[in-house]
Structure 1
Amino acid sequence: MVKEVHKLAESKGLSPETVLDIHLLHAQANGNKVLYTTDLHSADKYSTEKSGKETKDEIILVTSKFEKGLKGIPVNYSNKDMKRPIPQGYIVPSIWNDEKIDEMSWFALDNVEELSKSDLEALNIPELLAGRPNRKQI
């Protein structure tokens, strides 16, 4: 299974923990779906058309101290160069409605669920992210 880890940062003055909680609550209220946006140009790394690599089976979002996390299955993705249409039923949490999504990377995540402490420990995320500030493919 191929996974990509994103370490969340502050957004709109909210802590990474609050950003994660908002994504979890949004997914729970929307059929376990969420549109995760990032200013990292990560969707080009995800793209099989560009990289020829296997697509990701899971996107994992973690807090800055790796104490909380969530995982979701990416059903589609884009970046500012691709400009793909967002799949129907996938929206960002309302606090980010003002984002210019066409200028960002995004992942439409399905089956979003919270990761337990033991899940996070088993992934050994701090080691995986060593040398890469916000994301790592595992």
Structure 2
Amino acid sequence: MLNIEQYENGMGLVYKFGERFDGELSAREGINIYALHAKEHDGKVLLTMERGPRKEYRHMIKKIILTVKDGSYAIIADVEDTSKGTKMPIPDGYTVPSIWEKEPENMYWFALYNLERIKIEPGTYTSVTGKDLLQSIAGNAYMVYVPL
């Protein structure tokens, strides 16, 4: 049973980026594309992903962190809304960076605003499993949940 009280301030979903397009786009560049898109679109950007967050956490996600494996380059953003595909309309002004070319038709999406560049240091966040966030993303895990 999930102890909701320990997440009273909500939860952050940390998404670790890797290289894309056969190494032609680094993880850092991929994250930067979202930051630049938001800068050019009134601070708004739509993050889409094929695999969504765990069902029991979806309604608690208040922030998204996009990071490289070692936390040295990351952005944190507030979540205005989230859904899958066309179950709910995407809020006005939110679009996907054109490089990704995938519209959120059958994907999970997050309407992000208030993006801020951060650096994740050891001890900054602890995952819901009790491990330090940097330890959690050092391996194959690419989606980690942290209490806020």
- Shorter chain as normaliser: what TM range? 0.7 to 0.9
Assess, with a 3 A threshold, how the Cα gap between structure 1 residues 45 and 87 changes in structure 2: closer, same or farther: farther
User: CA offsets per residue over residues 18-57 of structure 1, 9 Å max, x none?
Assistant: 1011111111112221101112222745433xxxxxx122
- Would you say 1:57 and 2:57 are equivalent positions? no
The higher radius of gyration belongs to: 2
- Percent sequence identity over aligned pairs: 31
Contact 2:64 2:79 in 1 (8 A): yes
Give unmatched runs, 5+ long, in structure 1: 49-54
CA distance in 2, matches of 1:100, 1:28: 20
User: CA offsets per residue over residues 81-108 of structure 1, 9 Å max, x none?
Assistant: x632211100111212x21411211100
- Name 1:6's counterpart in structure 2: 15
CA RMSD of aligned residues (A): 2.2
Q: State the secondary structure of the residue aligned to 2:61.
A: coil
- Name 2:29's counterpart in structure 1: 18
**Moved runs in structure 1, 4+ residues, more than 2 A?**
9-13, 43-48, 122-125, 127-132
* Higher relative contact order structure (alpha carbons within 8 Å, sequence separation ≥ 6): 1
Assess, with a 3 A threshold, how the Cα gap between structure 1 residues 41 and 6 changes in structure 2: closer, same or farther: same
> TM-score with structure 1 length normalisation?
0.79
Please state which structure has a larger fraction of its residues in helix: 1
> TM-score with structure 2 length normalisation?
0.74
